[in-house]
Amino acid sequence: MSRFDAIVIGGGINGLVAAAVLGRRGRSVCLLERSDRLGGMAGADGAYPRMAHLLYNLGPLVRKDIGLGARDWPFRTVALPTVALNPGGAHVRIDGAEARFVDGRPHPDAAAYRALVTRLGGYGALLRRLAEAPPPGGDAAWTDPAALKQMLRLGGFGRALRQMGKAEMRGFLKVLLSNAYDLILDELPDGPLAGALAADAVRGLAMGPRSPGTVFSLVYRHGHGGTVSLPVGGMAAVVAALAEAARAAGATIRTGTAAARLLCEGDRVIGVETGAGEVLMASRVLSSAAPLATARMAGLDRFDIEASRRMRLIRARGTVAKINLRLSALPRIDGLPDDLLGARLLLAPSAEAVETAFNPAKYRQMSDEPILEALLPGVTDPAQDAGGAVALSIIAQYAPSDLAGGWTDAARDRLLAAVVARLSTVAPDLPALVAGAEVLCPDRIEAETGAPGGHWHHAELGLDQLLTIRPANGLGHYAMGLAGLYLCGAATHPGGDVMGLSGRNAALAALGDGP
């Protein structure tokens, strides 16, 4: 029997960050990962990306709190331009707020795009104040130092809101809860540029750009700069850096060790029993497993009926399939200069096309013309090509987790064929180059990572599951009711993407610390 101050369940990004933060604050930590590989959805086979393939929002705040210094990560990142592919037309290159045609010609909507993205960035900066801290509210008396800090922060949010100016603030509050489709098409004609924004607004979500709340998710993404970067050495380098930070902070990391049961005494958690029957004692347990799975490890009877109902009803319908192709040679994309082959390639020809792709998902069908985010990581970082072949990493949407008939081999083949066919509209030689394919449908993603429904963000980023009510009402402050037990996965606030903030915030909550 070993004893620790804290045990972290799950060695994904958030689990590793939580372990590092706790370790840095002088706590002895043991992290348990049931698979043999760390990283969860960011985990990689060697340098080759498996699920997540790019970094959006990994924040400097996390870096600082896990002791990696304020300057940079121990891995290099390369900011990638985005190319909005336009089958049969001119592709658009996007660098931050700047858009132009890939051949260098100015884009007629560049000014409108810049204005819109700048606006979104402004909103995002505002929301970031909320994202980086634990969500507001909670039980603490207002005289409590943490509560005071929180009030100041909320006051800061209000002040920042006011400083936007009346018109901007009105605009912000007006669009925040509405749909991305209307917001985008108010400013831009429909086309690849609008499609790129629409696709970014709904990636991983069971929503189309016309669904209410998608402005929020779009702002969320742009709030952190909206820049997309490729870690050199792949996601493996990111995971290794986080694991190294956790180890350097004194954390014990054990892979291949599943947590089977939470041990409790009275109304507190006192430890974890592993799948092999080993008992590890700790006064705090942080779980990046799904909330319901975590509750079941302790026994549902330790939670209120309302709490177990909310956990059961957390919306987590995955819509993303990850497709990893091995190609015999670099594909040629019509109209795309070779130097842009390494860009983030978005195949979402219009906002309308994104919504149309979503339609079948409402009825448990896959998209016939899926929306794709494709990446040839080896162009930028040759180490990421898979064993001599060219790696093509694709996030395909919509591939609903509850597909009618289930994700059979035939269904997987159909999805693969649809994705390849879709890509061949811009890269006609692609089908002939495919030397191997791995199709990770939501069921596989769930089986491998434990994310319910294989959901890209572990729980839908819907307006009913954000901030104080992420992942559900009563669970918004990382604590689960049972004393000493905390949630630290991406299902908690702020959640989503590869951010690490959930793990950091949960660790701080477990330490009884304010932000």
Partner 1 sequence: MSVVTDPKTGLIDGPVHDRLAALSRARGWYGWAGYAAPSVLDTVEFEYFALRNQCALFDISPMHKYRLTGPDASAVLNRLVTRDVTRIRPGRVGYAVWCDEEGMVIDDGTLFRLGAQDWRLCCQEPMLTWLIEAAWGFDAEVRDESDTLAGLALQGPTAFAVLEAAGWDVAALRPFDHAGLGEVMISRTGFTGDLGYEIWMPWAEATAVWDRLWAAGGPWGLRAIGYAALNIARIEAGFLTAGVDFQPVHATERLHRGKTPYELGLGRMVDMTKGHFNGRRALAKARPRSLLMRVDVEGFKPAQGALVYHRKRREVGHVTSGVWSPTAKRNIALAHVALPWATRTPPDLWAEIYTLEEGRWDTRMARLTPVEGAFFAPQRARATPPGHT
Residues binding partner 1 (CB under 8 A): 267, 296, 300-309, 312, 474, 481
Tokens of 331: 């594909």
Q: How far is the CB of 53 from partner 1 (least distance, A)?
A: 36
Q: Which residue lies nearer to partner 1 by CB, 276 or 305?
A: 305
Question: What residue type is 61 in one-letter code?
Answer: L
| CB 247, min distance to partner 1, A | 36
* Rg for the chain, CA atoms, rounded: 22
**C-beta of 464: minimal distance to partner 1 in Å?**
19
Q: 220: how many CB neighbours lie within 10 A of its CB?
A: 25
Task: Give me the least distance between CB of 267 and partner 1, in Å please.
Answer: 7
- Report the candidate in 401, 461, 494 with the shortest Cα–Cα distance to residue 218: 461
Which of residues 116 and 509 has its CB atom nearest to partner 1 in the complex?
Answer: 509
**CB-wise, 100 or 302, nearer to partner 1?**
302
Question: Between 169 and 270, whose beta carbon lies closer to partner 1?
Answer: 270
How far the first Cα of the chain sits from its last, in Å, is 33
> ∠ CA 483-485-490 to the nearest 5 degrees?
145
Nearer to partner 1 (CB atom), residue 301 or residue 409 = 301
Alpha-carbon torsion (475, 476, 482, 484), positive or negative: positive
Smallest separation (angstroms) from partner 1 to the CB of 309: 5
Which residue number, 254 or 296, has a Cβ lying nearer to partner 1? 296
- Judge if the upstream peptide bond of residue 106 is cis by omega within 30 degrees of 0: no
Using the minimum distance from each CB to partner 1, give the nearer residue, 399 or 472: 472
Smallest gap from Cβ 299 to partner 1, in A, equals 9
Task: Give the SS3 label for residue 38.
Answer: coil
To partner 1, the closest distance from the beta carbon of 287 in angstroms equals 17
Q: Could you say which DSSP state residue 212 is in? A: T
CA distance 169 to 287: 38
- In single-letter form, the type of residue at position 331 comes to P
Closest separation in Å from C-beta 74 to partner 1: 43
Q: How far is CA 9 from CA 257, 326, 395, in A?
A: 10, 33, 27
Residue 430 or 479: the one with the smaller Cβ distance to partner 1 is 479
Length of the chain: 515
Contact 18, 503 (CB under 8 A): yes
Residue environment code for 312-336, b if the CB has 16+ CB neighbours within 10 A, otherwise e? eebbbbbbbbbbbbbbeebbebebb
Residue 207 carries which DSSP code? -
Count of alpha carbons within 13 Å of 462, Cβ hemisphere only?
A: 18
Query: Closest CB to partner 1 among 307 and 510?
Result: 307
For the bound state, the minimum distance from the C-beta of residue 35 to partner 1, rounded and expressed in Å, comes to: 25
Q: Which is nearest to 198 in space by CA: 466, 186, 478, 286?
A: 186
